[in-house]
Amino acid sequence: MKLTIVLPFFNEEALLPGLPATLDRIRRALSEHDVRVLCVDDGSSDGTAAGLAALQDVEVLTHSENRGVGAAMETGIAAATGEAVVVFDPDEPYDVELLAPLVAALADAEVATLSPYHPEGRVDGVPAYRLGLSRVASWLYRRRLGHKLFTYTCAVRAYRLPQAQTLLPLPNDFTAAAYLVARALQAGMRVVEIPAVLRVRTEGSSKMRVMRTIRSHLRLLRDLSVTPSNDDPRVS
């Protein structure tokens, strides 16, 4: 399968020394596929842009100013080519080996998402406030939309490309992942969850602003239309 891997960056200079090894692990995990790597620099003010430009065998798209992680995801998905697009966090909060089953799941779905809140998933070392926000947000989306998805907030997903591009544009902020899967469900797409272990990042720092993200999730929840059924065959 022809895949585009989208990696969003904003002020991730600390990740640059280990990035070639990360990219090598991604390519080895997806060695059965034709992989194109697309890095999106979201207006970094440190050395991220220069570091990405020095890499070989990757393409880099750059925002002239910081617009938000959702905007970086949108830029990557819009520019993707092939049959599928995978969004992956360059700080590797999930094992790269999960990318192969994630892509394989697209044989029976339009969207495949890693799912740390799945009964077979797990969370290790993530700060309690981050974990609480994400769990509560997923619960609220599940109640609002009426779909049995355990995790709405994980951004690491594989999408069939033509369908993913119909879901654009995205919110610019950290609600983009929840928006994408909510819109996919509302459009009748099948979503598959892959149980995963979410681990705290060891390099760099999160760019999420908690109160701003809470307000954004509440606005998105308000604006989403309600689905009455809580037993949906489009989720597995």
Q: What is the pLDDT along the chain (236 residues), one digit of tens a residue?
A: 999 999 999 999 999 999 999 999 999 999 999 999 999 999 999 999 999 999 999 999 999 999 999 999 999 999 999 999 999 999 999 999 999 999 999 999 999 999 999 999 999 988 887 788 888 999 999 999 989 899 999 999 999 999 999 999 999 999 999 999 999 999 999 999 999 999 986 655 555 566 777 888 889 999 886 544 444 546 76
Q: For residue 130, what is the enclosing H or E element?
A: helix 128-145
For residues 76 and 164, is the Cβ–Cβ distance under 8 A? no
Query: φ, ψ for residue 226 (rounded to 5)?
Result: -95, 140
pLDDT in the model for residue 231: 47
The pTM of this model reads: 0.89
CA distance 68 to 83: 26
- Using the 8-state DSSP alphabet, how is residue 38 labeled? E
List domains and CATH numbers for the chain.
Answer: 2-223 (3.90.550.10)
pLDDT in the model for residue 226: 54
Which neighbouring-strand residues pair with 61?
A: 40
Judged by DSSP in three states, 202 sits in coil
Checking DSSP bridges between strand 111-115 and strand 34-41, what pairing results, if any? unpaired
For residues 68 and 34, is the Cβ–Cβ distance under 8 A? no
What is each CA distance from 183 to 19, 141, 176, 223, in whole angstroms? Answer: 32, 12, 10, 12
Quote the strand ranges of 10-155, DSSP E: 34-41, 59-62, 84-87, 111-115, 122-124
pLDDT in the model for residue 193: 98
pLDDT in the model for residue 229: 42
pLDDT in the model for residue 126: 84
